[in-house]
Amino acid sequence: MTTVVKCPTCGKGVVWGEVSPHRPFCSKRCQLIDLGEWADEEKRIPSNGDLNESDEWSEEQHDRERD
């Protein structure tokens, strides 16, 4: 039985197997589009502990919070 998934970029059907070297993407182009979106921070993994650019973080502060 062949598994087919949708390309996350364009929605085209992609066979999940050795015949699709860029899976889950349908092509290198769609793979690079997705990578660019992550690099431009258009996509991100949500987190409750996100730091803003204005937030300061140091190893010393981190060590004190662990103690």
At residue 11, the pLDDT reads 96
Q: Which residue has the higher pLDDT, 44 or 67?
A: 44
Provide the percentage of residues in the chain whose pLDDT is more than 90.
58
Q: CA angle, corner 33, sides to 29 and 38, nearest 5?
A: 145
pLDDT tens digit string along 10-38? 999 999 999 999 999 999 999 999 999 99
At residue 54, the pLDDT reads 60
Q: Decide if pLDDT at 62 tops 60.
A: no
Phi, psi (rounded to 5 degrees) for 31: -65, -45
What are the distances in angstroms from CA 6 to CA 25, 37, 48, 52, 60?
8, 18, 30, 34, 46
Q: Decide if pLDDT at 67 tops 60.
A: no
Structural element, H or E, at residue 30 = helix 28-39
